Amino acid sequence: MRVLSGIQPTGRFHWGNYFGAIRQYIDLQHEHDGYYFIANLHALTTVRDKAMLQSLTRDAAIDLLALGLDPNKATLFVQSDVPEVSELCWILMTGTPMGLLERCHAFKDKQARGLAADAGLFTYPVLMAADILAYDANWVPVGQDQVQHIEVCRDLAGSFNHQYGKAFVLPEARLLGNAAKVPGLDGEKMSKSYNNTLGIFEDAKAVRKKIMRITTDSRPMEEPADPDKDNLFQLYRLVATTEELAAMDALYRRGGFGDGEVKKALADAAERYFESARQRRAELENNPAHVTEVLLAGAAKARATATTVLNRVKQACGLRTF
């Protein structure tokens, strides 16, 4: 199966990005043909600073490689390095009903909040469809909030196939069922939008300070607590070993502990968990030529696949006359 996913370079990756999605992408590369791209075209809807977008794109590539994405097993590339996707997007756009896009939740959410919604955001699902269809992807790992966009992609591909003959593979959404729900520092879902994140490659001392400032309830120390209802424990579950987790679970149910003790254990476990990734990242940071080589090789492979699909599509709809 060919698996495809993209991630926007709109900020540095945090625990929610990793445990919610990236870890699953890395696992899938061992069993499937993985295409993973850094969605810098999508990021243009929010990042309007040239230097920042370039820096975030580069950081995203280094971070993904440091976290375990293997270019010998998966194809990693930058979205804008495959111009065939933009041409395919236009072809799809000519057959996309306005009403379909008006019903998409990302656009509706912005409208409801009174925020400016430009044409880029409005047509975002069509570019996302082109991203998927350009590589004959079978599976697209997504969270529940992105399922609608996969349905839009299938609708557009199905409509084209009906009009011109089968040119597109119809992809399927693969829900990230084993993805962890990661609470932020305030107990809400961890998100850059809420400014409640723990950065994967953030300075370890800064992460520790953030953890120590996490707000908790006023439970008396001697009372037991339900670990399944505690945000600190949910974070600890992500980075602790099996033995550490069992011991902490027993401590919660027994009582006689303070939140400061849990926070320290969480900070210690987090440092150990991401230590090897931090080391790999430092090595990659010092070898920019290797990162460039990986991205160029990935783009070359991605372009070859996208060109085959685009030629098939252009032949089908009459854009290739010779």
Catalytic positions are 110, 189, 192
The residue behind tokens 């557009």 is: 156
* Of the candidates 170, 167, 177, 179, the residue with the CA atom closest to the CA atom of residue 152: 170
Hey, what are 146's tokens?
Answer: 């992105």
Dihedral angle sign, alpha carbons of residues 198, 200, 202, 204: positive
d(CA 281, CA 279): 5
Strands 74-78 and 33-38, bridge-based pairing: parallel
Strand partners, 36: 5, 76
* Of the candidates 18, 35, 37, the residue with the CA atom closest to the CA atom of residue 138: 35
d(CA 35, CA 312): 20
* Burial of 275: CB neighbours in 10 Å, binned 0-12, 13-18, 19+: exposed
Taking CA atoms, 250 is separated from 14, 215, 225, 247, 254, in Å, by 29, 22, 10, 5, 6
Instruction: Give the side-chain half-sphere CA count within 13 A for 65.
Output: 27
DSSP 199-265: BSSS-HHHHHHHHHT-------TTS---GGG-HHHHHHHHHS-HHHHHHHHHHHHH----HHHHHHH
Hey, what are 109's tokens?
Answer: 């959410």
Classify residue 147 by its DSSP letter: H
